[in-house]
Amino acid sequence: MARHKRFLLLALVVTLFAVSPAAAETELLPTRYGMGISYGLAYDPTNQVDFALLSGVVLFDYDRVWPHRAPEALRFKVEVSAGVITSPQPRGIVSANILALYYLDRFATPTLRPYVEAGIGVIYTDFQVEGQGLRLNFNPQAGLGVEIGHNPDSPWYLACRGHHVSNGGLYSDNRGINSVVFLLGKYF
């Protein structure tokens, strides 16, 4: 099991710095950068944990990162966040995540472009629920979102994600935290 965790960590690091050789052969979409805020509400194991984050986002053409053919609507997102657990007491939180984002263009309008996204990362929380075990954990998440605006290069985005925090069995105590997260941001 630990071998799988090391492989995932290595894949994350390589992914953040890799450029696909196949990407040089095809016309790539420009990389987009954005900023956003998010607010999370935990529902398991307690509904008394809330958090707010400020995030920097980079959205790549999927072919720029992975060396295989991919659907045109697929993107690769890197997201780095820092913020505070607002309840039950103020505590720090930072995370780094990678996500695959897929546009649902069949439902798009001239001003709305819906998408689904899912990914994983690491998260450090200066707060623990009983039985959590570690402060540094894995952070899988998935959700639905929409880009809003007339300019496709700098739209606003609005999303809702399911958000999980746990150590993936790296430590004997592994009580996870499950939350719903609401995001609002803008690409530049």
Q: What is the pLDDT of residues 164-176, one digit of tens each?
A: 998 887 877 878 8
Model pLDDT, residue 127: 81
If we measure between CA atoms, which residue out of 113, 51, 59 comes closest to residue 83? 51
What pLDDT, in 10s, does the model give residues 131-142?
677 789 999 999
Contact 99, 116 (CB under 8 A): no
**What is the 3-state composition of the chain as percent helix, strand, coil, each rounded to the nearest 5?**
15, 55, 30
If we measure between CA atoms, which residue out of 49, 48, 121 comes closest to residue 81? 121
Residue 6 has pLDDT above 80, yes or no: no
pTM of the model: 0.82
Residue 21 has pLDDT above 50, yes or no: no
Look up the CATH number of domain 2-187: 2.40.160.20
Domains of the chain by residue range: 2-187
Residue 52 has pLDDT above 60, yes or no: yes
pLDDT tier, 22 (very low <50, low <70, confident <90, very high otherwise):
very low
The CA dihedral of 78, 82, 85, 90, to the nearest 10 degrees, is 170
